[in-house]
Amino acid sequence: MKLTVGVGLLGCGTVGASVAEALQRQRDTIERRSGVRYELRAVAIRDPHKSRPDSIDAGLFTRDARALIEDEHVDLVIELIGGTTDAAELVERALERGRHVITANKDLLATQGPRLQALAASRRAMLRFEGAVAGAIPVVRTLGEALAGDDIYAVAGVINGTCTSILSAMEHGTSYAEALTEAQRQGYAESDPSNDVDGIDAAHKLALIAQLAFGLAVISPRVRRKGIAQVTQAEIARARLLGLRIRLVAATIKTAEGLMAEVGPVLVAHDHEFAQTAGNENVVRVVARDAGTLALRGAGAGGTATGSAVLGDVVTVLRAIRERGELAPRGRIGLLEPAIDVAPFFNELDRSSELPGYPLWNDAAVLRQTCSKRRLRSVR
Residues 172-191 that bind ligand HSE (CB under 6 A): 188-190
What's the sign of the alpha-carbon dihedral 30, 35, 37, 38? negative
Q: Which is nearer to ligand HSE, 6 or 187 (CB)?
A: 187
CB of 189 to ligand HSE, least distance (A): 5
Rounded distance between C-alpha atoms, residue 198 and residue 163, angstroms? 9
| Cβ proximity to ligand HSE, 42 vs 91, nearer residue | 91
DSSP 71-127: -TT--EEEE---SSSHHHHHHHHHHHTT-EEEE--HHHHHHHHHHHHHHHHHTT--E
Cβ 206 vs Cβ 261: under 8 Å: yes
Answer yes or no whether residue 112 interacts with ligand HSE by CB under 6 A.
no
**Which residues are paired to 288 by β-bridges?**
152, 292
**Rounded (10°) angle between helices 176-185 and 161-171:** 130
Using DSSP's 3-state secondary structure scheme, residue 334 falls into: coil
Of 135 and 227, which CB lies nearer to ligand HSE in the complex structure?
Answer: 135
Note the helical H segments in the chain. Answer: 14-25, 27-34, 65-70, 86-96, 106-122, 139-141, 161-171, 176-185, 194-197, 200-214, 233-241, 303-323, 363-371, 373-379
- Listed as own residue / partner, the contacts of 39-43 with beta carbons closer than 8 Å and 24 or more positions apart are 39/4, 39/5, 39/6, 39/7, 40/7, 40/9, 41/6, 41/7, 41/8, 41/68, 41/71, 41/73, 41/74, 42/8, 42/9, 42/68, 42/71, 42/74, 43/9, 43/12, 43/16
Residue with Cβ nearer ligand HSE (160 or 308): 160
Q: Which of 301, 309, 311, 321 binds ligand HSE (CB under 6 A)?
A: 301
Name which of 6 and 131 has its Cβ closer to ligand HSE.
Answer: 131
Residue 193 CB, shortest distance to ligand HSE, in Å, is: 8
The set of catalytic residues is 205
Q: Residues, the chain, total? A: 380
Minimum Å gap between C-beta 302 and ligand HSE is 8
**What CA–CA distance (Å, rounded) separates 57 from 44?**
13
Judged by CB under 6 A, the number of residues near ligand HSE is 11
In the complex with ligand HSE, which residue's Cβ is closer, 119 or 158?
158
Residue 252 touches ligand HSE, criterion: CB under 6 A: no
Residues of this chain, 150-169, that bind ligand HSE according to CB under 6 A: 160-162
Contact flag: residue 300 with ligand HSE (CB under 6 A): yes
Q: How far is the CB of 59 from ligand HSE (least distance, A)?
A: 30
Site string for ligand HSE, 18-37 (x = CB under 6 A): --------------------
Q: How far is the CB of 159 from ligand HSE (least distance, A)?
A: 7
* Site residues (CB under 6 A) for ligand HSE, limited to 191-220: 196, 201
Among residues 76, 18, 2, the alpha carbon closest in space to that of 314 is found at 76
- Minimal CA–CA distance to 130: which of 115, 146, 153? 146
For ligand HSE, the closer CB: 11 or 135: 135
Under DSSP, the state recorded for 50 is: S
Please list every residue from 35 through 94 that binds ligand HSE, using CB under 6 A.
Answer: none
Task: Return the amino acid letter for 368.
Answer: R
Among 82, 135, 144, 199, binds ligand HSE (CB under 6 A): 135
In whole angstroms, the minimum distance from the beta carbon of 163 to ligand HSE comes to 7
Minimum separation from the CB atom of position 266 to ligand HSE (A): 17
Instruction: Name the site residues for ligand HSE (rule: CB under 6 A).
Output: 135, 160-162, 188-190, 196, 201, 300-301
